[in-house]
Amino acid sequence: MTEKKLGYNIRIKKDVDAKTVKEYFALAKRADDAGIYSLAVPGFFDRSDRRIINIFTYVSGLALVTEHCKVGFDCLLVPLIHPKHVADIGASLDLMSNGRFVLGAGLGWRKDEYERFEVPWHERGKRFDEALEIIEKLWTQPSVDYSGRFWNFKKMVSPPCVQKPHPPIWIGGASDAALRRAVKFGENWSGIESWMPEMGIAKEKWSFKERLEKLKEYCRQAGRELVLGRAPRTPKELGVNLRHHFNISSTKQQGVEDARYFRKTFREINGVQVTGGSAPLEYKIEEAAIGTAEEVIEKLKRIFDTGAYLVTLYPLSTDSKTQWERIEKEVLPSL
């Protein structure tokens, strides 16, 4: 039987003040008490939006107000940070959460984000691989000497991790390189249902099923096993989780209108576009689980049938609190 676990994207999506932050921490505790599997915060750094608080500080707070669910990033743009910082932050969050931290890691899709941090866009993949190698060493060795293309150091240390041999790494991305990276470093591959050229990561639309077949072949070549329908249980196994947008409303049309309002509100300040996901809104609406709770449940069940054991839900709404309440009361009992 397929495991059916839900994660929730708990990024703050409105003007930030102390009251808002407390409300979101209360929402995180409520989700944890309700049995949510994981809470994820997108790991972006620069979208020219002052409403986005520091992700490391925010996840630290989530680690302290929850007791059971996993907490982490989906996905952290690792190439933009020194791997020593990532290792220190990850180990510290693992300690603060008592072994519940997950490093969701990816490349991102915006070239200007790399330019602002003065990291060459064409080097992002190689930097990512080298960083992941260093992070694993710092998490598993008492002291590390390293000589590479991008980083060189001696006797570097990082705090010990609670999880052994180290916190799980979930790799996001859709390219062949991302799939190979997931096989090499990951416990899970974090996918989305399909990809399209407008997202800047494919020349043609890819299906989730096609990516799974490719991933299965890469696992075979590396001596690993792709497991579908459940979480991995051994280091040789690679699991699959999927990110999915949703909006629960009285009708599908109301949900679509709410999603459009959310996109406009979140992406514009005084008429200036400031942030947003990689895919066009109409594409997200087409792919998302939007409508009544019953319609959303049916869509989620179809997603679980593809082989993902975990679906992380991203609300297409400015009212994450109400969306979570409907997930808690109307969706979780059916899964």
Confidence of residue 268 (pLDDT cuts 50, 70, 90): low
User: pTM of the prediction?
Assistant: 0.92
pLDDT at residue number 194: 63
Mean pLDDT of the chain: 89
Confidence of residue 270 (pLDDT cuts 50, 70, 90): very low
Give mean pLDDT, residues 102-128.
Answer: 92
Confidence of residue 209 (pLDDT cuts 50, 70, 90): confident
pLDDT at residue number 275: 45
Give mean pLDDT, residues 303-314.
Answer: 93
Give mean pLDDT, residues 323-333.
Answer: 94
Q: Using CA atoms, how far apart are residues 200 and 182, in angstroms rounded to an integer?
A: 20
Task: Summarize pLDDT for 93-108 with one digit per residue, the tens.
Answer: 999 999 999 999 999 8
Could you tell me how many residues make up the chain?
Answer: 335
Using CB atoms within 10 A of its CB, is residue 278 exposed (0-12), middle (13-18) or buried (19+)?
Answer: middle
Q: Label each residue of the chain as H, E or C.
A: CCCCEEEEECCCCCCCCHHHHHHHHHHHHHHHHHCCCEEEEEECCCCCCCCCCCHHHHHHHHHHHCCCCEEEEEEEEHHHCCHHHHHHHHHHHHHHCCCCEEEEEECCCCHHHHHHCCCCHHHHHHHHHHHHHHHHHHHHCCCEEEECCCCEEEEECCCCCCCCCCCCEEEECCCHHHHHHHHHHCCEEEEECEECHHHCCCCCCEEHHHHHHHHHHHHHHHCCEECCCCCCCCCCEEEEEEEEEEEECCCHHHHHHHHHHHHHHHHEECCEECCCCCCCHHHHHHHCEEECHHHHHHHHHHHHHCCCCEEEEEECCCCHHHHHHHHHHHHHHHC
Q: Using CA atoms, how far apart are residues 123 and 150, in angstroms rounded to an integer?
A: 10
Looking at the predicted structure, is the pLDDT value of residue 272 above 50? no
Max mean pLDDT among 62-76, 197-211, 316-330 falls in 62-76
The domain spans of the chain are: 5-236
pLDDT at residue number 49: 66
CATH topology (fold) of 5-236 = TIM Barrel (3.20.20)
Contact 86, 80 (CB under 8 A): no
Higher-confidence position of 205 and 180: 180
For residue 313, the cross-strand partners are: 8, 244
| Amino acid (1-letter code) at residue 155 | K
pLDDT at residue number 217: 98
Looking at the predicted structure, is the pLDDT value of residue 241 above 70? yes
Q: Using CA atoms, how far apart are residues 26 and 320, in angstroms rounded to an integer?
A: 12
Higher-confidence position of 54 and 82: 82
Looking at the predicted structure, is the pLDDT value of residue 14 above 80? no
Q: Provide CB contacts within 8 A for 147, sequence distance 6+.
A: none
Rounded percentage of the chain residues whose pLDDT exceeds 90? 70
| Amino acid (1-letter code) at residue 302 | R
pLDDT at residue number 328: 95
Higher-confidence position of 265 and 239: 239
